[in-house]
Amino acid sequence: MQVLKGQISMFFYKSRINCLNFTVSDLNAKDVTCYFWDETEGSRRAVEIGTCILAYIETQIEKDPEKEIDLIFYSDNCGGQQKNKYILSIYAYAVINLKVKSITHKFLIRGHSQNEGDNVQCH
């Protein structure tokens, strides 16, 4: 997404700032969490995605702090964002240090990766 957006011609000559969104959909609870930032706060690399994933895991633990949870993530095959050692390190950290029993990450088949998160509109 780019911000400034409009039909007025003066917007054409202004610098636009890219805004980034990472969405997690809980298919069981039918709940959606959007993490939103602009390019001055970060990029779209594994570090930013990993921060969002860890924040999401922590919110899931907060819902029932006494219970160990099992998590299953589904995502596309983007190596730069989800298929790398940084994300695996976050999963290992969560299992070792937080109340997470297991994390499973399933990658959708290339070309068939449209999922619930792609249809979410954050406000």
pLDDT, position 35: 93
pLDDT, position 61: 97
pLDDT, position 30: 84
Kind of pairing between the strands at 2-3 and 17-26:
antiparallel
Mean pLDDT, consecutive 10-residue stretches, the chain (123 aa), reads 60 73 88 91 90 96 95 84 89 97 89 58 57
pTM, two decimals, is 0.80
- Which residue spans within 9-121 are E strands per DSSP? 17-26, 31-38, 69-75, 100-107
On whether the CB atoms of residues 45 and 87 are closer than 8 A, the answer is no
Half-sphere exposure (Cβ direction) of 69: Cα atoms closer than 13 Å: 19
DSSP state of 116: G
Cα–Cα distance for residue pair 5/66, rounded to 1 Å: 46
